[in-house]
Amino acid sequence: DIQMTQSPASLSASLGETVSIECLASEGISNSLAWYQQKPGKSPQLLIYGASSLQDGVPSRFSGSGSGTQYSLKISGMQPEDEGVYYCQQGYKYPWTFGGGTKLELK
């Protein structure tokens, strides 16, 4: 199975600060990478697919980049509603696998 390693496990950001979350795959996944946000008691919500494509309705402050085995999610200007847990997921091959999550809090 492809292992997805996310870092950091948690971080705290100030209002307006730019935040980056990293995801490392154990083998190349050809940009088959998605990012999700999950708020307490809610289902995950898709933010980014195909490593860099923004899902409809997601604010443009969210962006994704990367290739091969290394990918990142950037939030350009932290907002209060961005608090939550973020997960990466590879869809390159079954079984799909998720990262362990990054808990993002507002400082």
Partner 1 sequence: EVQLVESGGGLVQPGRSLKLSCAASGFTFSNYGMAWVRQTPTKGLEWVASISTGGGNTYYRDSVKGRFTISRDNAKNTQYLQMDSLRSEDTATYYCARHPWEEVDYWGQGVMVTVSS
Q: For binding to partner 1 (CB under 8 A), which residues are involved?
A: 32, 34, 36, 43-46, 49-50, 55, 87, 89, 91-92, 94-98, 100-101
Query: CB under 8 Å to 88, separation ≥6 — which residues?
Result: 4, 6, 21, 23, 33, 34, 35, 36, 71, 73, 98, 99
In the bound complex, what is the minimum distance in angstroms from residue 46's beta carbon to partner 1?
Answer: 5
ω into residue 95 within 30 of 0, thus cis? yes
Residue 7 or 32: the one with the smaller Cβ distance to partner 1 is 32
Query: CB under 8 Å to 103, separation ≥6 — which residues?
Result: 9, 10, 11, 84, 85
First to last CA, the chain: 36
Residue 19 or 34: the one with the smaller Cβ distance to partner 1 is 34
In the bound complex, what is the minimum distance in angstroms from residue 34's beta carbon to partner 1?
Answer: 4
Q: At 58, which amino acid appears? A: V
In the bound complex, what is the minimum distance in angstroms from residue 49's beta carbon to partner 1?
Answer: 4
Residue 63 or 92: the one with the smaller Cβ distance to partner 1 is 92
In the bound complex, what is the minimum distance in angstroms from residue 32's beta carbon to partner 1?
Answer: 5
